Structure 1
Amino acid sequence: MSDGRFKIAEEVFVVDVDDGHLLYAPFEGVISRLAPQTAAELRSGQSSASRETLRYLHGLGLIVPADTPSPAPVGTWDESFAPTGVVYMVTAACNLRCTYCYADAGDYPVDLYNRRMALDAAKFVIDNAAASGAGTAYLNFHGGGEPTLDFDLIRTVVDWGREYARNEAGDLRVNASMVTNGLISDAKAQWIADNMDSVQVSHDGPAAIHDLQRPTVRGGTSYSRVREVIELFTGRVPDLMIKSTISRAAVGRMPEIARYLCSTFDLPRFHLGPVLGTGRGRSVVFGEPEAQEFVRGYYAAQEIADEYGRTIVVSGALATFPHVRRTFCGVTDPNFSLTSDGHISSCYEIMYDDDKRAPHAYYGRYNRETRTFDVDGNRIAKLRLHDVNKIPKCRNCFAKWQCAGDCQARWYNSQTGELENGPDVRCEINRTLIRDRLLSIVSVT
């Protein structure tokens, strides 16, 4: 550095904020305010700063000699396949017709999930967990529709899996989880409350909002029953989450939704997330909200939640600093998501053969003759490398080590399957919330 030539170390960012600039180094755990001149000098790689200042910044790892390579952390090539959890993509059938459904639930033909395949998958992950000493195997029930419409499958797999684990794997624990729209009978709700470790219920707020966005298949209301089911689950399901989807039509009512959730349900946190713009989520009325309107609504909602000592969660903008995350979800593990026709998908939002994104997510299939799961090791290894480093539009974004690229299903255009290039609504939401959180850290120190 004797000639004054340097560069900001890779993955160190100068972030513009309303009242100036921040120096943000996620891997060094450093956030600092910058004077305008210093910010400009750092970006240009030239500085008239004193040798002592440069030496200090260099010692922190924030600036390095111009020819210093500084690769970002990446995954390793690994073709192994021994998952300890399975996601059952139970059904495409649904008793609701939500106005923004990313999966067009109810619009696809329904195939009954093969019971033998389901039990083979449970045995597979339980055996893997026992062999690896993991201590827990995971049985998760998801799908493009409502899983409880094939409730016999859920009950059969969970009961069989836990009995098999007791008899064959000693003290191995079987964790069961599911998502549901909550429009279920008392008998189903009671069984779920007694047997599920984790449940996510979709519930969009007060009756006027919920019923507008989540009508039944015949156009009726679902609010009252969903609320009753959530109240039945509360205190009985160890990990219970309510997820409210914020559409363009509802974004201006986020404070109202927050007050309703906090005053009605005794839960520590609630998830508010923007519509995913695929399937019916491309709706003009009920599609993705405008980013800055969502951000304003989030702050107003969290202010109300603060009154109750609760938290509003936005999954793409979790408060993770000083920790970083390279991956957003289990797509890079990859997830062992099993569709009703036997395809293995890394993403439980990509489950139909005609989905243009399927080639990016599918990596194997159930073999009915051998009752085994045939996978492409090369494809698995590529998925394990497919993290935030692989997204061109994230390359220079300061927020990428917090949001980790967000949901991989939206990396690709759902109509063409092509990689998206420009930032989108969720990008703008995440960047704004993460930037504001970084600014709040230096504001209190």
Structure 2
Amino acid sequence: MNRQSLDPGADRPRNVAIIAAGGSGVRMGGLKKQFLPLAGLPVVVRSIRPFQDHPLVDAIVLVVPPGDIPFGQSLCSAYGLAKVKGVVEGGRSRSESVRSGLEAARSFHPDVILVHDGVRPLVRARLIDRVLEAATRHGAAVPAMEIYDSLKRVACDRVESSVPRERMRAVQTPQGFQSAWLYGAYSRPVLPEATDDAGLVEACGYPIAVLPGDRDNVKITSEDDLKLAGRLLADPGVAAGIGYDVHRLEAGRPFILGGVKIPSELGLTGHSDADVIVHAVIDALLGAAGLPDIGQQFPDTDPRFCGADSTGLLEQAVKTVAGVGCSVLSIDVTVVCERPRLAPHIPDMKARLAPILRVDPSRIGIKATTQEGMGFVGRAEGVCAWCVTLVQRH
């Protein structure tokens, strides 16, 4: 267990995710269901990855069946799940497994804890967003789906009565809680009728906010579930976009690239702050989503954008592409600049752009090169940038 304090910054809480994958039931092919392959990856890896990639999740604790710690650690290493700071053994029940995860997470001093089933491999970043926001605001939050089928109370294969479905919901994970509430709930004897963490928190008298779930956020409990998840992944709806931008260099202007101000005698000139990296990223995103380009979204004839911070324009662009059902998977930027040397500033650029794009910095590539003294870039008259992006269409 790598015990360390997390410091996400003073402006937001520390968020830790517990992936409850401690079930020991053997399913298809003699494997535990959380380790079954799904479209080339183990189910549990797909369940972890959205939290690994989420910029607001600071650490992950993985709970595995007894005896499977080495296997869990090898999975995290093999698939680059660096945010998994601890792999611990679960117990005989789900509540015992979550309790084990909570003990492991205690050393991180979390403010908000997300608990997610290790067999829900299709959770999306936007659902994690909503649960985090609601848990931070209300103290506890669960995603839930409306039920459209008729409900019956049954005994001995006969209907006893009908159950009104209007106020019924099918609850999913991740479930989010202020850490004090969840630790308090688990400090008491576990109620047998509580089938999830929200049930334990509710029993303590705390209110639980309910928000819309995701129909595709399926739980793998049978071979049919696995086949359904495979079909949902078979056509991922991935789209690519390419963006390009160029601006002149002039004396007396700030030199801003990738949202980072870089010391330089020359700076880029334009209607906004002329950040060619961010502009190329915006155009790539808009293109991948099939939307009008940056010039139509943020025209230089509009005084609102005069001197604008381009990262603010990028935030608007990300919301725009999200509005048509697209989320960022990765971006790859090449910036061509003769001087100054940009390599030392690339980590800061990635850290600046990652939360705006809602991806982990590892999903952002930025490379810098020169023109070897040739052309307008080589003469230090301007800077240009190319960006290729992949987006997920939902």
TM-score interval, normalised by the smaller of the two chains: under 0.3
Alignment TM-score, normalising by the size of structure 1: 0.24
Structure with larger RCO (C-alpha < 8 A, sep 6+): 1
Bigger fraction of residues in strand: 2
Alignment TM-score, normalising by the size of structure 2: 0.26
